[in-house]
Amino acid sequence: MRAKKTAADEMIRGPRVESAIDAATSLLGFDDARSPRNLRDPGELYPKPPFEKQTQPWPGLAGLMTPRPDHGEESYRGSGRLLGRKALITGGDSGIGRAAAIAFAREGADVAINYLPEEEADAKEVMTLLGEADVNAVALPGDIRDEGFCRKLVDDAARDLGGLDILVNNAARQHARQSILDISTEDLDWTFQTNLYALFWITKAAIPHLQPGSSIINTSSIVAFDPSPQLLDYSATKAAILNFTRCLAKQLADKGIRVNAVAPGPFWTALQPSGGQFPDHLAEFGADTPLGRPGQPAEIAPLYVLLASNEASYTTGQVFGATGGEVGP
């Protein structure tokens, strides 16, 4: 005899649970998580070392990398989590910034990207993708080492987007050197101006535009916790970004503006072949992580979406890692 269906059965098997699974899957920006095809070993999801030896002049282009990075061009699915929001992303032409721009747009946000003029080829690809998302997309090339440009960048973004409520400070300079003796004052200035001074100038210019509920997201790095000997100046700036984030979060909490950071581990971006790694190291890039490979930008974009969204409303002054299993935040 068939047992009578109870209320507990309805809770376990009923449409409410099915709807909850669908909603959770949608929030993550991925396809149906109940499908066995999506239960996969994370270490095998993307290419693993050894990689082809390759170098590029600074600042590098994703379009010239082998293999090409995955920024979520084909995989990211939005669900309206950032509908109507206005975001400025530095370094938005490639790498983590590009992945965040694609994800934000597919979540319904209008997006302005900043990049160097030399990165125009990558930026054009991003602008095409943002246009396909049917949002307002703005390209704002220029060198953020200039304080005057940083102020103009923010003002132009706020004007062209019709406001500003998400700021992602992501652009960075990374150049590997064997020894402190190999780092010139010019090198030091270039790294600090790009990674720290610009972050300070852009954030300072953005705050008057931000309303309660706005979000600032800074890109730090695993090297803030476990510095690489060949990245002395870069590691110093990424550690400073952590305390900048934590301090600013306390300053802006009473204004209703949240400030958080993301700390990536080794990610396959144009930063690496354009001087960020020595060519011999690049061939084995990411092999020493527990997952045995570098991350792809598409894998970290959901963290930026979460921190920009209302779902992280009680989260400020925090650092979130995506490191392939390495010790992080």
Positions annotated as catalytic residues are: 234
CA dist list (Å): 325 to 51, 227, 262, 271, 291? 20, 16, 15, 21, 6
**226: phi then psi, degrees, rounded to nearest 5:** -135, 80
What residues contact residue 125 under an 8 Å CB cut-off, 6+ apart?
63
Strands annotated E in the chain: 86-90, 110-115, 137-141, 166-169, 215-219, 258-264, 319-322
What three-state secondary structure class fits 169? strand
In 207-299, alpha helices (H): 232-252, 279-282
Beta bridge partners of 221: none
Beta bridge partners of 140: 114
Spatial separation of the C-alpha atoms in residues 36 and 235, rounded to whole Å: 40
What tokens were used for 111?
């997006």
Are 264 and 95 within 8 A, CB to CB? no
Going 54 to 56 to 60 to 63, the CA torsion angle's sign is negative
Q: CA triplet 206, 212, 214: central angle to 5 degrees? A: 50
Residue 188 CB-density burial (10 A; 0-12 exposed, 13-18 middle, 19+ buried): middle
Spatial separation of the C-alpha atoms in residues 58 and 173, rounded to whole Å: 9
The interaxial angle of helices 95-106 and 120-132, nearest 10 deg, is 20
Spatial separation of the C-alpha atoms in residues 298 and 216, rounded to whole Å: 20
